Structure 1
């Protein structure tokens, strides 16, 4: 895995978001000093079978201008920066800029900040840590992982909102309603109705 050339924060938009599975799996709360909301413009989000998020650069035209992905910017404690980025390169099957086998590319781009920085567990352990000074609405340079494979429409569905947490919440509400419906039907059948 290649080392980063600059210590940019990381923009995440899927399972690495705070509160989602890979955030905990990679113990990011212990390595991330601050997190804040952000938008990556001119990108579209897709879901592989409703559980695997990917983003790609939007095509041309007006739709591309309106396309955006909502996520979080994570600022890593400097002593963890290279090691966590290399672990995430592994997760995303990124093997360097010249590799033909990359599932994702670790790209550099700009995001627009949408919230103030929130300190996480790693910030409490570092007394000399500075809070990020960029203001809401500012653009900052970040790394992010972009899909590097064809999007087969049979398996990929565009997420119109560009918001993975919103997408997951909608799936869970739908699943819960379906389960409630099944339970209600079974209860009526058991009562002889």
Structure 2
């Protein structure tokens, strides 16, 4: 497991509407990021949602996306904005997503700990039984 340096904010792993070219990228990320690079999230599968995807923990699978590093001065505002976008509140049983720290992998194989919005447990359970998987784990491939 990768541990972040104490006091250093985590980057974000984005895999759906926050990716470049998708509707929320410019709304939420433009001007707030220091870097964006391809990455993958091992141990998760991607499911189609109502206009956006859900990543669900699942061994042997992976989700493709981008690793987004916020500008230091924009980090807190971006964290708040993304929590609102994903309708995430700590310990709220109504959450559709949970923000969790997970190990991701850059394109060059470097592991990086990042914030990821995963499907909340009740949502994940429904998706595993009745959801539509996005084969290959890449939201952009659905086009």
Considering the TM-score relative to the shorter chain, is it more than 0.5? yes
Structure ID, larger Rg: 1
Among candidates 125, 136, 140, match of residue 161 of structure 1: 136
- Who is 2:112 aligned against? 140
The structure with the greater share of residues assigned to helix is: 1
TM-score by length of 1: 0.65
Q: Which runs of 5+ in 2 are unaligned?
A: 1-6
Distance 2:116 2:48 in 1: 17
Matches within 5 A, 1:94-113: 94-96=88-90, 98-113=91-106
- Who is 2:11 aligned against? 9
- Who is 1:24 aligned against? 26
The structure with the greater share of residues assigned to strand is: 2
Q: CA deviation at 1:160?
A: 1.1
Q: Which runs of 5+ in 1 are unaligned?
A: 59-63, 115-135, 170-193
Instruction: Provide the alpha-carbon RMSD of the alignment.
Output: 1.5
- Who is 1:75 aligned against? 69
